[in-house]
Structure 1
Amino acid sequence: MNTKTRETVVVGLSGGVDSSVSAYLLVEQGYDVRGLFMDNWDADAEGDAGGYCTAAEDFQDARRVAEELEIPIQRVSFAAEYRERVFSYFLDEYSAGRTPNPDVLCNTEIKFRAFLDYAMRLGADWIATGHYCRVRRDDNGAHLLKGLDNNKDQSYFLHAIERDALAKTLFPVGELEKDRVREIAVEAGLHNYAKRDSTGICFIGERAFREFLANYLPANKGPILTPEGQQIGEHQGALYYTIGQRQGLGIGGVPGTDERPWYVADKNVQDNTLIAVQGHDHPLLQHQGLIADQPHWLNARPELPLRCRAKTRYRQADQDCEIHPRPDGKLDVHFDRVQRAVTPGQYVVFYQGEECLGGGVIHQALLAQDKNETAIKTENQAS
């Protein structure tokens, strides 16, 4: 029996199998477990009649799990907080020509701030979620570790939460493989043991992304150009596309070119133009480094320069790099090996072994072919 036999844990029950098993494991460990279902997208208030949000179905799953585990559950709306702290930022970033990751901000502002604050007002000692992460606690505080299932590790999305939030959080499935989580759900008699994992924009669900974004940022067609300035197609709105994107360009039959696919290499939302190049490994898609803004460290700021590993996308393998401080407070990150399609607006996340150190927002990507000249050029464009 866990020594913290009657400490109270409020679990974020989403209706999915991971949070459900998390609640079950905490019950088995002797905690006083309470469920909380978060409503964070108000389709009526947003004028969103697309019918894509699964909140009603998810709540019914969460409510049924609570009944199966014999724990209380509340349904709480954080839609106003989501709109103000997450979705407005999401739209601002796209408007500025960057590609944001709302899941990171959703964790920072909603799950580990609004939800945490609400749970503490309920008298909780801890909160818990179904994230595949782990926490190591020592005299220096709480340390965020990768989940043991490498295919499900979600530390990338939690790198920006506040350290006091991490100190109050439990991740019951972080020590487990996904297959074992489903097995436990079956053993526990949870009805949703086979429910498919959710994907899509955090709390908004799966939908045709460009059509959804057009509800808030109207389409404005423009030219797709080669780096030399030749028009080779027409896009639906430069802000809808991301660096390295292949799908949806509609480029074909360009005189003087071969059959290799085209990729977005750059975009200019002021001129409403896209630059496209041929070939997955075109030089304009190869980056040796980046400049990171808004650096956030989960524990004490490490001494810089620092050798560590980093990733610029969730599914990317960790890459060897070196971090240097900049006078403006940003970070220079130089990779040992060239990285493909580093994208402003996304996040670079730093690791030492299994520990997530923190990260920052990608402000600029530095081309491998001439990173110094590129840095100056991009800095001038940014200012």
Structure 2
Amino acid sequence: MKKRVILGMSGGVDSSVSALLLKEAGYEVIGLFMKNWDEEDEYGVCTATEDAEDARRVASQLDIPFYTINFEKEYWNRVFTYFLDEYKQGRTPNPDVMCNQEIKFNAFLDYALKLEADYIAMGHYAQVEERDGKYYLLRGRDKNKDQSYFLSRIEQQALSKTIFPIGHLEKREVREMAEKNNLYTAKKKDSTGICFIGERDFDEFLDRYLLTKEGDIMDVEGNKLGKHTGLIHYTLGQRRGIGIGGIGTGEPWFVAGKNLKKNILYVAQGENHPALYSTSLIGESPSWILGEAPNMPLKCTAKFRYRQSDIPVMVDVLEDGNLHIKYDEPVKAVTPGQVAVLYKDEICLGGSIIKSIEPLEKKYEYLNDQKIITKFFISP
């Protein structure tokens, strides 16, 4: 009897080739499109509708059943409100990580099991390996496309039921397979950005849901340089869009910190300014792929944002359960709200949400005072 696999089909080439490979491997494949967001873009087009139709065409080509499931409520409650709450605290969240944790490998998995699925599958560039009854998350073979960073908060139950059909392939090979088999999505451009924002202006989108207030831009020495349009529009290390070019030495300015209480945006001039660097971080809400923390202190590598090169670190657990992650060398623009993901060679160990950073120089500790939250609102 064939094993049943419920595949998350996004309407892109990766999940399309995943469907092809699963069918060729002899599984009973059912395609399922997750509708997480319902909104038209600036041209009056709902991209979710287009993507669902593309997925349906591929399912028809491969002669597999296809359905759409609505997770809009779950997405709003578990991912989008988290996204807004993080911005209200002056942080820069990663909703893709939370979407994987709460929707794709939680709500989707629960639904698939009700359909008596043996496994779920996703078109991620990552791999699962079982060793002595434990399930390990490994990087995808294509290092440029590896998506293990976004999967760092997945738990054992989900991994034990998950197949990543293209995890062992390069993106080039995936495209070639799609073209060879004349799949409808073979030449479709990869999606970019956050699903509920898409190609639209990011700042404009935030302004619809969060109240912004103009405030002062100051350099890290306390000199007033201009006005910002609202702290939610800026992230640590940001260079473009600050609006103070031509001041000072002529070198570019970078966001160095935010003070929510005083509504001040701090900037530093020069890409190697010490105010942009930190030596360690505190990570909250740690999550471990194997379900328990490895032996501490732990020497490993980390990524503090997607596609960042591995950074050698030393990790320890604090009395409150948070992680202290100390870097071997100072690192630029480590951003609260992002995810610190830990690796041991090819194995993704897990990660934690970056709560705070320790600046390279003590005198810059004041730059990120996020203790008082200004008044924001959420539009229903």
Band the TM-score falls in, shorter-chain normalisation: over 0.9
CA contact (8 A) 1:43 1:49 kept: no
Bigger mean CA offset, 103-112 vs 222-231? 222-231
**Does residue 1:305 correspond to 2:290, yes or no?**
no
Shift of 1:51: 4.2
Query: Does residue 291 of structure 1 match 2:316?
Result: no
TM superposition shift of 1:380: 8.5
Query: Retained in 2: the 8 A contact 1:106–1:202?
Result: no
Deviates more, 1:211-220 or 1:175-184: 211-220
Provide the secondary structure at the position in 2 that maps to 1:76: strand
For 1:363, the equivalent position in structure 2 comes to: 355
**Deviation at 1:189?**
1.8
Shift of 1:269: 2.3
148, 166, 174: which is aligned to 2:167?
Answer: 174
| CA apart distance, 1:224 | 0.5
> What is the aligned-residue RMSD (CA, Å)?
1.8
Instruction: Tell me, in whole angstroms, the C-alpha distance in 2 between the residues paired with 1:272 and 1:63.
Output: 48
Provide the residue aligned with 2:242 in structure 1: 249
What amino acid is aligned across from residue 110 of structure 2 in structure 1? D
Gaps of 5+ in 1: none
**Distance change in 2, residues 1:69/1:105 (3 Å):** same
Deviation at 1:49, TM superposition (A): 6.6
Matched, 1:194 2:190: no
CA distance in 2, matches of 1:336, 1:119: 43
The within-5 A match list for 1:28-67 is 28-43=24-39, 51=44, 53-67=46-60
For the residue of structure 2 that corresponds to 1:239, the secondary structure is helix
How far is the alpha carbon of 1:66 from its aligned partner? 0.3
Quote the residue 2:316 is aligned against: 324
**Which amino acid in structure 2 is aligned with residue 321 of structure 1?**
V
Report deviation, 1:194: 1.1
Q: CA deviation at 1:253?
A: 3.5
8 Å Cα contact 2:304/2:338 also seen in 1? yes
The SS at the match of 1:43 is coil
2:155 is the alignment partner of 1:162: yes
Q: 2:115 aligns with which of 118, 122, 134?
A: 122
Query: What is the rounded CA distance, in whole Å, between the counterparts of 1:287 and 1:161 in structure 2?
Result: 28
Supply the distance in 2 between the matched residues of 1:301 and 1:198 (Cα, whole angstroms). 34
Cα 1:241–1:180, aligned 2, differ >3 Å: closer, same or farther? same
Contact between 1:102 and 1:202, CA under 8 Å: does it hold in 2?
no
- TM-score normalised by the chain length of structure 1: 0.93
SS in 1 for 2:209: coil
In structure 2, C-alpha distance between the alignment counterparts of 1:49 and 1:340, rounded to whole Å: 35
Cα deviations by residue, 1:93-117 (Å, 9 ceiling, x for unpaired): 1011011000000110111111111
Cα deviation, 1:295-317, whole Å, max 9, x if unaligned, reads: 11000320110000001011101
Distance 2:78 2:225 in 1: 39
Question: Matched residue pairs, number?
Answer: 371
Partner residue in 1 for 2:376 = none
Structure 1 residues 243-300: Cα deviation after superposition (integer angstroms, max 9, x where no partner): 000111110333xx21101110001223221001101111011111111001110003
Query: Could you tell me which amino acid in structure 2 is paired with residue 29 of structure 1?
Result: A
3-state SS of paired residue (1:215): helix
5 Å-filtered alignment, 1:271-286, equals 271-286=262-277
Deviation at 1:88, TM superposition (A): 0.3
Partner of 1:17: 13
Q: Is the 8 A contact 1:16 1:62 kept in 2?
A: yes
Asked whether the 8 Å contact 1:200–1:207 carries over to 2, the reply is no
- The structural deviation recorded for 1:158 is 0.3
* AA at the equivalent of 1:238: L
Between stretches 100-109 and 133-142, larger displacement belongs to 133-142
Trace 1:83-162 onto structure 2 (pairs within 5 A): 83-162=76-155
Displacement of 1:228 after TM fit? 2.1
What percent of counterpart residues are identical?
Answer: 52
1:6 pairs with one of 2, 5, 18: 2
Residue 50 to residue 369, structure 1, CA distance change in 2 (3 Å): farther
Give the letter for the 1:215 counterpart.
R
Between 11-20 and 180-189, report the one with greater CA deviation.
180-189
* 1:206-217 → structure 2 map (5 Å cutoff): 206-217=199-210
Q: Is the 8 A contact 2:275 2:364 kept in 1?
A: no
2:3–2:28 Cα contact (<8 Å) kept: yes
Q: Report how far residue 369 of structure 1 moved.
A: 2.6
Tell me which amino acid in the other structure corresponds to 2:322: K
Distance in 2 (alpha carbons) for counterparts of 1:260 and 1:346: 27
| Corresponding position: 1:77 with 2:73 | no
Asked if structure 2 preserves the Cα contact closer than 8 Å seen for 1:94 and 1:240, the reply is: no
Q: Which moved more, 1:245-254 or 1:310-319?
A: 245-254
**Is 2:260–2:371's contact at 8 Å kept on the other side of the alignment?**
no
Letter in 2 for 1:289: S
**C-alpha displacement of 1:89:** 0.6
What secondary structure, in the 3-state scheme, does the structure 1 residue paired with 2:178 have?
Answer: helix
User: Could you say what secondary structure the match of 1:366 adopts?
Assistant: strand
Q: CA deviation at 1:239?
A: 1.8
When structure 1 is superposed on structure 2, of 11-20 and 214-223 the one drifting more is: 214-223
Question: Is 1:230 the equivalent of 2:230?
Answer: no
1:336 aligned to 2:332?
no
Q: Secondary structure at the match of 1:144?
A: strand
The amino acid of 2:79's aligned partner reads V
| Corresponding residue number in structure 1 for 2:375 | none
Quick check: 2:253–2:270 contact (8 Å CA) kept in 1? Answer: yes
* AA of the residue aligned to 2:238: Q
